Amino acid sequence: MGKGQAERLMPLIQDVLDEAGVALRDLDAIGVGIGPGNFTGIRISVSAARGLGLALGIPAVGVTLLDALALDGPRPMLACLDARRDNLYLQRFADGAERGPDLVPLSEARDWALPGITVVGQRSDEVAQSIGAAHAPAAHAPASAIARLAAKHWQDPDLPRPAPLYIRPADAAPSRETGPVILPG
C-alpha cells in the first residue's frame, strides 16, 4: 500500500476479526511485525498494536519479519528481505552459526553462505543462485507466522514491549536549516 496505511489499518483489523467471528475483547494477545521494512508502516503497526494491547489489557508481541520467514523452515537457513538499492536484510539461522539481522549489499550475500543452506524470502531465487544454494518458499505466510510466534511467546513474563526494528537509517531526515518553531502554549 503506497499511502493511507494509518487510515486503513483499524478498519482492516475489524474486517479480519469480523471474518473470523471474533471480537477485540476475545483476544488474549496481539502479534505485530516489527520489521525490518518500511519505516512508516512499522511505526504505524507497532503503535496500533501497543495501543490496542494497552486499551484491552493484553500483551502485544513483536515478531521480526525475518523470524517469521524462518519459522518451521529447514536449517541452516538464510532469511532475506529486499531492502532496495541492491541491498538485503539478512538473518542466518543455523545451530552455532547464527548471524544478523543486518543490512547487506547483494554482492556480499555470498559471505553468509553455509554448506546446505536454504534461502527463503524476497529475492531468494536471486540470492540462492549467487551463493550456490537452494531456495524455498517460507513455510507460512508472514501474518500466519507472526500469529504463531506471538501465540508461542505471549505468556513470557519477560516479554518486552514491541519496538520497531530499524536496521538502516531513515531515508528522510529533518531539515538541517533552522529547527521547528515551538509556539507558546
Residue 5's pLDDT band (cuts 50, 70, 90) = confident
Segment 18-59, tens digit of pLDDT? 999 999 999 999 999 999 998 888 999 999 999 999 999 999
CA neighbor of 81 nearest in space, from 41, 30, 132, 114:
41
The answer to whether residue 97 is domain-embedded is yes
Residue 29 lies in a domain: yes
CA–CA separation, 162 and 46 (whole Å): 7
Q: In terms of residue numbers, what domain contains 113?
A: 73-135
Note whether 84 and 115 are same-domain residues: yes
Helix, coil or strand: residue 103: strand
> Which cell is 85 given?
538499492
Structural domain contains residue 127: yes
Same domain, 90 and 119: yes
Domain presence at residue 184: no
Strand ordering across the sheet containing 134-135? 99-105, 87-93, 77-82, 118-121, 134-135
One domain, residues 122 and 93:
yes
- Residue 173's pLDDT is what? 61
Kindly state the percentage of the chain with pLDDT values over 70.
90
pTM greater than 0.75 = yes
The model's pLDDT over 85-96, given as tens digits with 9 standing for 90+, comes to 999 999 999 999
Name the residue among 31, 100, 102 with its Cα closest to residue 68.
Answer: 31
Residue 36 included in any domain = yes
149 shares a domain with 59: yes
**36 and 87 part of one domain:** no
Nearest-angstrom CA–CA distance, 171 and 58: 34
CATH label of the domain that carries residue 22: 3.30.420.40
Domain total of the chain: 2
Q: Is residue 177 part of a domain?
A: no
Q: What is the mean pLDDT of residues 152-162?
A: 94
In terms of domains, do 131 and 78 share one?
Answer: yes
pLDDT at 185 over 60: no
* Helix locations, 57-175, DSSP H: 65-70, 124-131, 142-153
**What percent of the chain stands above pLDDT 90?**
84
174 assigned to some structural domain: no
Domain co-membership, 48 together with 15? yes
Tell me if 26 is assigned to some domain: yes
Domain match, 57 and 96 both: no
